[in-house]
């Protein structure tokens, strides 16, 4: 898959996820097979104000990576683009976030209600960019306003190099299911690479979503939480090979490596607090998970986390 001249090793992509898709998680997902990752959404305005916390969200060692910007003013987004590119990233524009604190400012999915402004933002970003600019959207605002095909066409006309579509509306948030028919309708309107997103939880779901929609790639969010090996499994299936099957021990070793990385980047105190949710995801489905989860939520050291995850190997 090639996005505006950037050649990816495959078409299986880590979704932007606030509070999840940080640098350690992106590194782990790339190592295990993701062809591209997106940072969590970052405020274009905060970059302009040189907010160091925001810049840290964009740090990367795992390339290729796109930074996802949100904003509602073409000039602000345009000014953020070179700052992101200087860090080795290319830019995606968020037109899908359903959170009221974002849509209330006319940002995220609210832009689907204003395709003219959405087009101006994309055009301004493309004009400011030397690398490709991509756009991520939902199916529409609500069931009465499904306009992803129109918005995707607008994005392409204004120079977007790829579009990602999550087949839920804003009013669904994360309920119901993602509708592949909307993604297929987008396919009929654009020729740029199309990335299908929503409810992919394994190789089978990924292949059928691509087949049903005609999309060029798949993006995986929740299905990768505590299961970053999903990228290797899906990538193998896309190549027509059997998916690698990891043992419980191999999975827990990945979990421990991930938590060690979190601690390396964030220090032990903050790192272990942030690692708790990942550790709880990793032990889902293991026998005795409830008791292990309680231990995870009390853990304050890396040593303790290692001990709990090693126990999860033996519990199975």
Ligand X SMILES: Cc1cc2nc3c(=O)[nH]c(=O)nc-3n(C[C@H](O)[C@H](O)[C@H](O)COP(=O)(O)O)c2cc1C
Distance CA 134, CA 128 (A): 13
Question: Please, which residue, 54 or 197, has the CB nearer to ligand X?
Answer: 197
Q: Is the dihedral of CA 14, 5, 162, 80 positive or negative?
A: positive
26-55 residues in contact with ligand X (CB under 6 A) are 40-41
56-115 residues in contact with ligand X (CB under 6 A) are 68, 94, 96-97
Minimum distance from residue 243 beta carbon to ligand X (Å):
17
Name the nearest CA neighbour of 93 among 163, 153, 157. 163
Minimum distance from residue 179 beta carbon to ligand X (Å):
12
Is 222 an interacting residue with respect to ligand X (CB under 6 A)? yes
Is 166 an interacting residue with respect to ligand X (CB under 6 A)? yes
Which residues does 18 contact at the CB level (< 8 Å), separation at least 6?
Answer: 40, 41
Is 136 an interacting residue with respect to ligand X (CB under 6 A)? yes
Distance CA 169, CA 175 (A): 10
What's the token pair of residue 8? 């990816």
Which residues does 86 contact at the CB level (< 8 Å), separation at least 6?
Answer: none
Distance CA 70, CA 226 (A): 26
Distance CA 168, CA 136 (A): 12
Which residue's structure tokens are 């299961």?
A: 227
- How many amino acids of this chain bind ligand X (CB under 6 A)? 22
Minimum distance from residue 144 beta carbon to ligand X (Å):
21
Stretch that binds ligand X, among 24-32, 188-196, 218-226, 229-237 (CB under 6 A): 218-226
Question: Please, which residue, 67 or 308, has the CB nearer to ligand X?
Answer: 67
Name the nearest CA neighbour of 283 among 226, 221, 223. 226
Which of 14, 41, 97, 195 is labelled catalytic?
97
Applying CB under 6 A, among 8, 18, 273, 313 the residue interacting with ligand X is 18
Question: Please, which residue, 166 or 251, has the CB nearer to ligand X?
Answer: 166
**Annotated catalytic, 109?**
no
Question: Please, which residue, 32 or 97, has the CB nearer to ligand X?
Answer: 97
244-303 residues in contact with ligand X (CB under 6 A) are none
* Beta bridge pairs of residue 165: 137, 196
What's the token pair of residue 1? 């898959």
Is 232 an interacting residue with respect to ligand X (CB under 6 A)? no
Active site residues: 97
* Site residues for ligand X per CB under 6 A: 15-20, 40-41, 68, 94, 96-97, 136, 166, 197-200, 220-223
């Amino acid at each position: 898959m090639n996005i505006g001249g950037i050649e990816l090793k495959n078409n299986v992509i880590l979704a932007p996820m606030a509070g999840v898709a940080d640098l350690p998680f992106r590194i782990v997902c790339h190592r295990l097979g993701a062809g591209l990752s997106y940072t969590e959404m970052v405020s274009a305005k905060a970059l302009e104000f040189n907010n160091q916390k925001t810049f840290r969200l964009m740090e990367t060692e795992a390339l290729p990576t796109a930074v996802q910007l949100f904003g509602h003013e073409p000039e602000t987004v345009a000014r953020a683009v070179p700052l992101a590119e200087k860090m080795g990233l290319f830019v995606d524009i968020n037109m899908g976030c359903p959170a009221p604190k974002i849509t209330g400012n006319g940002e995220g999915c609210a832009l689907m209600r204003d395709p003219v402004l959405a087009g101006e933002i994309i055009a301004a970003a493309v004009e400011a960019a030397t690398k490709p600019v991509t756009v991520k959207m939902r199916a529409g605002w609500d069931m009465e306003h499904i306009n992803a095909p129109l918005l995707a066409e607008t994005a392409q006309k204004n120079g977007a190099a790829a579009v990602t579509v999550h087949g839920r509306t804003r009013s669904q948030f994360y309920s119901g299911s993602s509708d592949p028919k909307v993604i297929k309708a987008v396919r009929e309107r654009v020729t740029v690479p199309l990335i299908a997103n929503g409810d992919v939880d394994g190789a089978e779901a990924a292949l059928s979503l691509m087949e049903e929609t005609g999309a060029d790639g798949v993006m995986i969010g929740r299905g990768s939480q505590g299961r970053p090996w999903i990228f290797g499994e899906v990538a193998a299936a896309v190549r027509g090979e059997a998916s690698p099957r990891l043992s419980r021990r191999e999975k827990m070793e990945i979990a421990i490596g991930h938590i060690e990385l979190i601690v390396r980047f964030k220090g032990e105190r903050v790192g272990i607090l942030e690692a708790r949710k990942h550790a709880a995801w990793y032990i889902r489905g293991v026998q005795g998970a409830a008791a292990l989860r309680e231990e995870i939520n009390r853990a304050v050291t890396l040593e303790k986390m290692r001990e709990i995850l090693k126990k999860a190997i033996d519990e199975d």
